[in-house]
């Protein structure tokens, strides 16, 4: 049972609230989420019962946050997941002003830590970030500010998340040593794709569920239907006949993208859910046995959003590409829960 009272969190780069919802599930009160994508406001506020500020973090002043959302006697928790694209291997080669601005988001996070002086900080991001100088600076600055810092690269199935997502999780505390709780699952007990989505109604190519507006598929072309029919769980396009292969597959560079146009397996966690999970051609997003790509509902469940999570106000608000970005960019709810439990264990001991 949570013995800690009067603890509250603020979520930077909150998106639609995966991290916040996980913290709430663990027992931490959420005051406000901040994200420059204003289309996230409905889902964030509706599910987390918290305020939403739709603005660039560079425009947010720590003094205002302290005055409006935190009281002096509270244990203050500042969490966030800066947009990860700048730190991924295939995008950090990009040069120019836009890329520099994105990299600077982590420094803006650091600025708000300095200005608000929370007792607890948590940062989640791509595992590749731990090798970057900007992360090393982030960590050393926290230590210079008096925080005890730990971080680890988390393999999400180790914590009951049905997805082969790898993430960097940093925890920092002014009170003393803080660490993520021990792994909760062994490989034999990993939650599988079937565990997460196997109960959903079957759908044909291009079909929509009558009972769930988020359970619908994009319609595959005739050639892509033939490709997915020829695909095996965890197989590659090498399983296809020559006439089904794309021109890029016939080049030497194409050999490095074996999972593109791939079919998932029921018996293990899913691949990492990205913002284009609904597109059969952008990754291993073919359904394990049905000849189609993933639906929004399936991706949300694989990201551990509960079935009653509200992503839109009205059915006509459903926009596949927008909700795809919302869900693909989210912190898995259950990873947020693990972070929350780690914070509370630390404070209780």
With contact defined as beta carbons under 8 Å apart, do 319 and 5 qualify? no
> Rounded distance, CA 282 to CA 262, Å?
9
Tell me which of 14, 40, 81, 84 is the catalytic residue.
Answer: 84
Determine how β-strand 120-126 pairs with β-strand 166-173: antiparallel
Bridge partners (DSSP) listed for residue 30:
9
Dmax (CA) of the chain: 68
Bridge partners (DSSP) listed for residue 233:
263
Residues in the chain: 349
156 is catalytic: no
Query: For the chain, how big is the Rg over CA atoms in Å?
Result: 21
Residue of 314, 283, 302, 290 lying closest to 217 (CA atoms): 290
With contact defined as beta carbons under 8 Å apart, do 186 and 283 qualify? no
With contact defined as beta carbons under 8 Å apart, do 281 and 218 qualify? no
Residue of 300, 273, 275, 295 lying closest to 284 (CA atoms): 273
Sign (positive or negative) of CA dihedral 270, 281, 258, 82: negative
Question: Which residues does 196 contact at the CB level (< 8 Å), separation at least 6?
Answer: 162, 270, 298, 301, 302
Question: Which residues does 329 contact at the CB level (< 8 Å), separation at least 6?
Answer: 15, 83, 275
> Rounded distance, CA 70 to CA 145, Å?
20
Residue of 119, 112, 127, 114 lying closest to 80 (CA atoms): 112
Angle between helices 105-116 and 62-69 (to 10 degrees): 50
Instruction: Look up residue 291 and give its two tokens.
Output: 């000849």
Determine how β-strand 51-53 pairs with β-strand 75-80: unpaired
Residues designated as active site: 84
């Amino acid at each position: 049972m949570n013995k800690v009272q009067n603890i509250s969190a603020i979520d930077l780069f909150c998106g639609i609230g995966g991290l916040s919802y996980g913290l709430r599930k663990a027992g931490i009160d959420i005051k406000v989420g901040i994200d420059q994508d204003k289309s996230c406001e409905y889902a964030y506020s509706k599910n987390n019962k918290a305020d939403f500020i739709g603005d660039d973090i560079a425009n947010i002043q720590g003094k205002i946050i302290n005055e409006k959302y935190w009281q002096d006697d509270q244990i203050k928790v500042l969490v966030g997941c800066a947009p990860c694209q700048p730190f991924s291997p295939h995008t950090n080669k990009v040069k120019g002003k836009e890329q520099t601005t994105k990299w600077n988001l982590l420094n803006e996070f650091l600025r708000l830590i300095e200005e608000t002086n929370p007792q607890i900080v948590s940062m989640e991001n791509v595992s590749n970030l731990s090798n970057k100088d900007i992360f090393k600076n982030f960590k050393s600055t926290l230590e210079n500010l008096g925080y005890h810092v730990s971080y680890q690269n988390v393999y999400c199935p180790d914590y009951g998340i049905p997805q082969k997502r790898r993430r960097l999780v940093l925890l920092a505390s002014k009170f003393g040593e803080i660490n993520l709780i021990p792994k909760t699952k062994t490989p034999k007990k990993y939650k599988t794709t079937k565990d997460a989505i196997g109960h959903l109604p079957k759908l044909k190519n291009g079909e929509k569920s009558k009972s769930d507006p988020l359970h619908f598929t994009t319609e595959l072309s005739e050639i892509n239907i033939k490709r997915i029919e020829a695909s095996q769980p965890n197989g590659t396009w090498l399983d296809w006949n020559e006439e089904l292969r794309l021109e890029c597959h016939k080049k030497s560079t194409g050999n490095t993208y074996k999972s593109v146009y791939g079919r998932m397996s029921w018996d293990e966690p899913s691949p990492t859910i990205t913002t284009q999970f609904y597109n059969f051609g952008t990754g291993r997003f073919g359904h394990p046995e049905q000849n189609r790509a993933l639906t929004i509902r399936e991706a949300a469940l694989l990201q551990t959003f509960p079935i009653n999570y509200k992503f839109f106000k009205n059915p006509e608000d459903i926009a596949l590409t927008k909700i795809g970005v919302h869900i693909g960019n989210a912190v898995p709810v259950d990873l947020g829960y693990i972070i929350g439990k780690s914070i509370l264990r630390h404070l209780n001991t």
